[in-house]
Amino acid sequence: MPRLLFVCVENANRSQMAEGFARFHGGYQVEAISAGSRPVGRISPRAIEAMAELGIDISTQACRSLDEVSGEFDAVVTMGCGDACPGIRARVREDWPVKDTAGRSDAFYLDVRNDIRRRVQTLLANLRSHR
């Protein structure tokens, strides 16, 4: 079972959506979590609403710090935030140039959500083909 970690600074928007998509598209065959270098302690209501539009509930996901993450991962993905996650071991490391959603329009926000969905689907397909 692939173990995935998605990281953005606040662990409130982008990484939470990526975790939700990985759980949704990977089902029981994937373990996905998200974390942040400076987590704000809550998931953005905007992220919850944007994912709910697609039938994905992320409202019960945890908002956590990178300090709370341990173990080895099949993939660690940072979201264009420069977080290196040096103490976390991973077979695959990717930095996705996903734009920050703070203060952006609804259309921009949904474009970012859809971009994350495509990237997660590609990551899952690549991990499956290398097993």
- The residues carrying an active-site annotation are 8, 81, 85
Q: What is the pTM for the complete model shown? A: 0.93
Overall number of domains in the chain: 1
Name the helix (H) or strand (E) containing 111.
helix 106-129
Over residues 56-100, the pLDDT tens digits come to 999 999 999 988 998 999 999 998 666 556 678 888 889 899 888
Q: Compute CA 103 distance to the chain's CA centroid, rounded to the nearest angstrom.
A: 19
Full residue range of the structural domain in which residue 26 is found? 3-129
Q: What is the mean pLDDT of residues 37-43?
A: 91
Over residues 88-131, the pLDDT tens digits come to 888 888 989 988 888 889 999 999 999 999 999 999 999 888 76
**For position 15, which CATH number holds?**
3.40.50.2300
Q: Tell me: pLDDT of 16 over 70.
A: yes
